[in-house]
Amino acid sequence: MTTMTTTATRTTATRAAEGVTWRCPQAGLWIATGTDGRPAGIVSERWRRGFVVTACTGHDLGTFATLDEARGALAAQAVEGR
């Protein structure tokens, strides 16, 4: 796993074992990119409601209690979509 963090620009990228790269361009928003460089989807935080996952196709994948669950759901969908 490779993790890169730049606090000055508020960008965080994480390469997960599933082959998805994550960026956090602003607080409460995570963008996933597949190994092919294409967008995989986003996770957005909804205060007091959880984390909403939207696939690159625009499909709502649900709301999850934790960020890890939300990221896992999107990563799993990205792998299935290959």
SS3 breakdown of the chain: % helix, strand, coil, rounded to 5?
Answer: 15, 50, 35
Does position 47 have pLDDT exceeding 50, yes or no?
A: yes
pLDDT in tens, 52-73: 999 999 999 999 999 999 999 9
Strand duo 21-26 + 29-33: pairing: antiparallel
| Residue with the larger pLDDT of the pair 68 and 82 | 68
Sign of the Cα torsion 56, 61, 67, 68 reads negative
pLDDT for residue 28: 96
Long-range contacts of 2-8 (CB under 8 A, 24+ apart): none
Q: Where are the domains of the chain?
A: 11-80
What's the rounded Cα separation, in Å, for the pair 48 and 26?
A: 18
pLDDT in tens, 20-45: 999 999 999 999 999 889 999 999 99
pLDDT for residue 10: 41
| Residue with the larger pLDDT of the pair 53 and 3 | 53
pLDDT for residue 31: 96
Residue range 11-80, CATH number: 2.40.10
pTM, 2 dp: 0.76
